[in-house]
Amino acid sequence: MQRISFDSADLPGDERLRKDRWVDSLSSGYVRLRADARPNVPFDGQLKIMLLGQAAIGRICGTVKTISRGAAEIAIENTDNAVLLLNSGTDEMLVEQSGKSVACTAGAAVLIEQCVPSTINVSAQHHCNFMAIQLPRQQLRGQTCNVEDRFMTPIPASAPALAYAYVETLLKLSGAAEQADIPRFAADHIADLVVAAVALKTLHQETQAPSLRAARFETVRRELDRNFMMPGFSLTALARRLLVSPRYVQALFSEAGTSFTGELTTRRLMRAHEMLASPHYAHMKVMDVAYECGFPTVSHFHRIFRRHFDATPGEVRDRAIT
């Protein structure tokens, strides 16, 4: 996991030189952006970026009136990425792209294309303060079929709230925390949260869309699908990966009329049945299948398997062989 961070206050020279160096670093570095400093005020600028494989998250704030990505920057590095811009400041920012303008109030967001020129304009009296989540467009296409319709469509403040909190937490990670499990799975989490945000009904859409909590529950289910076979996987482990509390995750399951334990057990049982009924796993003992699917003990596995399928694991295997 790579970090990029520079603060104008840490640069050498007087204020004017620090401003010029910070602006130059922004345009020539990883982000490839142009910045126009606000005139007649002391300059300050901060940039934080975390690279997570093909994804990236970042935050820019300071006495900047516009941030833009033009044809010159695109010619240097033309990437087919989608970028979710989240207004983490207190005042409105205006995002312009492809002849459209979207006014993002505090907490609101908009999805833009990185391969198309864009400009972010900040209110004349206030600092620039926004977060950005960058993902390959194809990654979003794989999870939502209409991502092309979501560009430059206002996303109300309630929709990206979880994405905002997640990015904020990741950017604050340091030291030993960076070696924990969270960063290894962060790219998938980020993609799920972006999809959840852009899939919601936006200010100018009439089509019905899932509720925010339903979208968040879908993120929870995807994470469960990825990890249900891990021994010792628990509600606490799931919540830790999503940077939320176990109680919050439990409430999402309850609202859906199910439970974490029930969903976890069902997935493990279905996978075990699939393995026992397949000749590809005939070489494995029943207890090996049980452990492979995340069951802590063979006796527990036998008991709930028979209750669920009205047959023992051995009987399922025998039927498959004969």
Q: Which tokens is 176 given?
A: 């030993």
Beta carbons of 194 and 84 less than 8 angstroms apart: yes
Between 60 and 78, whose confidence is greater?
Answer: 60
Task: Check: CB of residue 210 under 8 Å from CB of residue 200.
Answer: yes
Question: Higher model confidence: residue 322 or residue 312?
Answer: 312
Q: Which residues are within 8 A (CB) of 318 and not within 5 positions of it... i.e. 6 or more apart? A: none
Report which of residues 235 and 159 the model is more confident about.
235
Q: Give, in order, the Cα–Cα distances in Å from 266 to each of 1, 26, 81, 269, 305.
A: 34, 50, 37, 5, 10
Q: Per residue in 231-286, pLDDT tens? A: 888 998 888 877 677 888 888 888 888 999 999 999 999 999 999 999 888 889 99
Among residues 154, 198, 164, the alpha carbon closest in space to that of 59 is found at 164
End-to-end CA distance of the chain: 51
187-202: average pLDDT: 75
> Distance of CA 280 to CAs 33, 42, 225, 266, 285, Å?
53, 69, 22, 22, 12
Task: Answer whether residue 293 shows pLDDT above 80.
Answer: yes
The pTM score is 0.63
| Average predicted confidence (pLDDT) for the chain | 84
